[in-house]
Structure 1
Amino acid sequence: MATATPDDPTTATDRDLEVMAEQLGRAPRGVVGIAARCVCGRPLVARTAPRLPDGTPFPTTYYLTHPGAVAAASRLEAEGVMKEMTERLAQDEELAAAYRGAHEHYLARRAELGHVEEIEGISAGGMPTRVKCLHVLLAHSLAAGPGVNPLGDEALDRVRDQWRPDRCSC
């Protein structure tokens, strides 16, 4: 893995990989960079290869690693937010179109890392037709910034009382 430079905060350092192993409770797999960082500099979101080192296709380009963010997304999932969001997708054409745009953005960013035929057209988190994983949507919003993934942005807004990216809770 390359060493980070001050002008490239997306490079994953050996220390970043150690931190992610602590965060995840296991060694991270397929990390090609850091897609978002805590204000203290620690990883929030890993950017992963579309094929893991063991050859497994891996559609999750943006992988949420920060324990506080993971716990907040899990709480939302336990509250039934995924079902509510999926129902809204079926009823709100504008939301559905924006979510399809998020899906296309996700696919384009993954394509920068390589093509894996087995997962062609498959993004993550249930995009573009349903909500299957708020962790992925939150990670995508943190990596891409506001306005790219409407449901990821909404999830981020909904967890602000539990976790915020602008405050270190490491």
Structure 2
Amino acid sequence: MTIELLSAADEVVVTEQLQRRPRGVVGVAYRCPSGHPGVVATLPRLPDGTPFPTTFYLTCPRAVSACSTLEASGVMTDLTDRLGTDPVLAAHYAQAHRAYLSARAEIAAGTTGEVTEVAAVSAGGMPNRVKCLHALLGHALAAGPGVNPIGDLTLQLIRERWPFPCTDA
């Protein structure tokens, strides 16, 4: 996984996307085809000392909106139920949890060091349930296809319903 340094121009875009200044960002973990930041990688401990488990923070407004709409439709319950009946999906999701923790540890090693308060906590409900599609999609986009199966399914559902990722400049 490649994390690009956050440029001044990227920070302006992310600030606009979030409607606030980003906190604890180490870089851009995913860009949409038009080059906009879509996922930022964040420190496991924010500058004010707060532990922050969401390593891959989804910033793309289209993706955020689509995830919110999917969450409101009840898809998280359906996906959690699938984890209970599909042992292959559950095993891949547990593997995604470990990959997330590994990526966070790599970031932490070069910055804040281990943050014990979130050491075993990944994101999005991993490894046992589906809690936040935003976090799971952020991880899937940052890590690439095949790493987070629920994030990949979220992306598939989004692409079936909405224009994503953006292609405008």
User: Could you say whether these structures have the same fold, taking a TM-score greater than 0.5 normalized by the shorter chain as the test?
Assistant: yes
Q: Is the 8 A contact 2:3 2:41 kept in 1?
A: no
Q: Which runs of no fewer than 5 residues in structure 1 stay unpaired?
A: 1-7
Letter in 2 for 1:120: A
Q: Give % identity.
A: 56
TM-score by length of 2: 0.92
Q: 2:52 aligns with which of 23, 39, 58?
A: 58
Match of 2:111? none
Q: Is the 8 A contact 1:46 1:64 kept in 2?
A: yes
Match of 2:104? 110
SS in 1 for 2:121: coil
- In 1, Cα distance between equivalents of 2:107 and 2:42: 9
SS in 2 for 1:159: helix
For residues 72-98 of structure 1, the C-alpha deviation after alignment (integer angstroms, 9 at most, x for no partner) is: 111110110111101111111111100
Match of 2:32? 38
Letter in 2 for 1:60: T
- In 2, Cα distance between equivalents of 1:14 and 1:56: 24
- In 2, Cα distance between equivalents of 1:169 and 1:48: 26
Q: Which runs of no fewer than 5 residues in structure 2 stay unpaired?
A: 109-113
The answer as to 2:77 corresponding to 1:78 is no
Q: Is the 8 A contact 1:72 1:163 kept in 2?
A: no
- In 2, Cα distance between equivalents of 1:169 and 1:143: 20
Higher fraction of helix: 2
Match of 2:16? 22
Larger RCO, structure (CA 8 Å, separation 6 or more): 2
Match of 2:42? 48
The answer as to 2:121 corresponding to 1:122 is yes
- In 1, Cα distance between equivalents of 2:100 and 2:3: 20
Q: Is the 8 A contact 2:24 2:45 kept in 1?
A: yes
How far the C-alpha of 1:41 sits from its partner, in A, is: 1.1
Letter in 2 for 1:130: R
- In 1, Cα distance between equivalents of 2:150 and 2:115: 26
Q: How many residues are matched?
A: 162
TM-score by length of 1: 0.92
Q: Is the 8 A contact 1:20 1:65 kept in 2?
A: yes
The answer as to 2:152 corresponding to 1:158 is no
How far the C-alpha of 1:169 sits from its partner, in A, is: 4.5
- In 1, Cα distance between equivalents of 2:168 and 2:61: 9
Letter in 2 for 1:12: L
